[in-house]
Structure 1
Amino acid sequence: MQLTKLKIITPDEIYIDDLEVEYVNVRTADGQITVYANHSPVVSTLLIGDMKYEINGVIKYIHLHRGIIQVSKDQVKILTQRLYEVNEKGQRIKK
């Protein structure tokens, strides 16, 4: 399976920097989308909600507070005001 690179940026930091993942699933203003490697280019606004991505067969969840997604052939870039990790039920994971 081909992988795509995930980059998530907040005003404070680069939260994830080109992590190779199987897919990324987010809630956009136009609806839910799942992005795999070689996806068509997309730019869209993100709604408040949980996104998920899969790495080595493990699904991870992150709560995003709005933002923008930019998809190119080999990268998914997400810019968001703030975020935190959640579990599959959307409950915040304490760190």
Structure 2
Amino acid sequence: MSTLLLEIVTPERKVYAQEVNMVSVKGADGELGILPNHIPLVTPLRIAPVVIKKDGATETLAVSGGFIEIRKDKVVILAESAELAGDIDLARAEASKERAEQRLSAKRDEVDYRRAELALQRALNRISIKK
């Protein structure tokens, strides 16, 4: 089966760089399944899991936004953050979820609701990947 190179890069480091069979992401306009020889494309990503299929195994990463660039034989994800399931601290993710929910439920003017909503989405994404 043919493969393509997947690179997932954050501002801090290269999180992932391997030959894979398929990548599935949630773009701004919906879900994308990427196979080798996909049409070239650049699109923003949502806060959602990235599912990687490689040699019959499936691996999932928690990605928090960013962009994906698809070429014929290479996919590059430039993400604000990306974590492998094994790197996620579940207790920390649960604490982040609680803080975001408290901020969203507070009826105060100084609360930045958009920021709290994004924090909640990131926490829920990390929790779902870890579980």
Fold shared per TM-score above 0.5: yes
User: Which position in structure 1 is the counterpart of 2:78?
Assistant: 79
CA distance in 1, matches of 2:130, 2:66: 19
For residues 45-95 of structure 1, the C-alpha deviation after alignment (integer angstroms, 9 at most, x for no partner) is 0000111011111100011100100000000100001122238x82427xx
User: Which position in structure 2 is the counterpart of 1:14?
Assistant: 14
Structure 2 unaligned blocks of 5 or more: 87-126
Structure 1 unaligned blocks of 5 or more: none
* Structure with the larger helix share: 2
Q: How many residues align?
A: 91
Q: What is the CA RMSD across the aligned residues, in angstroms?
A: 1.7
The one of the two structures with greater contact order (alpha-carbon pairs below 8 A, sep at least 6) is 1
Q: Which has the larger radius of gyration?
A: 2
Q: Which runs of 4+ in 1 moved over 6 A?
A: none
CA distance in 2, matches of 1:33, 1:74: 16
